[in-house]
Amino acid sequence: PYKVPIFSSVDGVLSCRFIETYMPPAAKELGIDMPEDLVEAISYFQEIAARDDIKLDMLVEPGHMTFSNNFVILHARSAFEDGSNDVEIKRLFLRLWLDVDAAASRPHVPEIAVYDADSITRQEGRTPVYAGDGWS
């Protein structure tokens, strides 16, 4: 098990990493309950992050690209339903993960990068990074 801080600082460089969806399956796989104070803290953090004065909502329009560093930006996607079965106008969303030297060399606590590649590993067949028995 890894205790990954949400906010951390190394050499004066602030990093942020929050992937709440991995926590319950990890606890389940370890055969432990998530501590109640952790559940409350996660809920409070999400409540603050969802405030209109904190978050930024944006719509990715056709032809647009977005770039972000997962050690700097917390991000999420809202639900999307493509109302068309017409392949000519159906949504096409491509995701590209760049592992550039500048991002990989960013000073950060070792608990943030528990994978060999210092980021999320390649996902052949779109298999999730975490696919243990606790994932359900």
Please indicate, yes or no, if residue 69 is contained in any of the structural domains: yes
> Using CA atoms, how far apart are residues 44 and 29, in angstroms rounded to an integer?
25
**Does residue 132 lie within any of the structural domains?**
no
76 within domain boundaries: yes
Assess if residue 15 is contained within a domain: yes
Range(s) of the domain holding residue 62: 7-123
Pair 8, 15: CB distance under 8 Å? yes
Tokens 């990890």 found at: 26
Q: In sequence order, what are the residues at sequence separation of 6 or more whose Cβ sits closer than 8 angstroms to the Cβ of residue 107?
A: 10, 11, 13, 15
Q: With beta carbons less than 8 A apart as the criterion, state whether 18 and 45 touch.
A: yes
Query: For residue 51, what pLDDT is reported?
Result: 95
Its pTM stands at: 0.67
Task: Please report whether residue 106 resides in a domain.
Answer: yes
Is residue 128 assigned to a domain?
no
Coil, helix or strand at residue 8: strand
Asked whether residue 135 is domain-assigned, the answer is: no
Q: Count structural domains, the chain.
A: 1
The residue among 63, 53, 66, 127 whose CA lies nearest residue 92 is 63
Residue 123 has pLDDT above 70, yes or no: no
| Residue 130: band (very low, low, confident or very high) from pLDDT cuts 50, 70, 90 | low
Return phi, psi of residue 113, to 5°: -115, 75
pLDDT, tens digit, 9 for 90 and up, residues 67-86:
888 788 888 877 777 777 77
Question: Is 133 part of a structural domain of the chain?
Answer: no
Tell me what pLDDT residue 93 has. 72
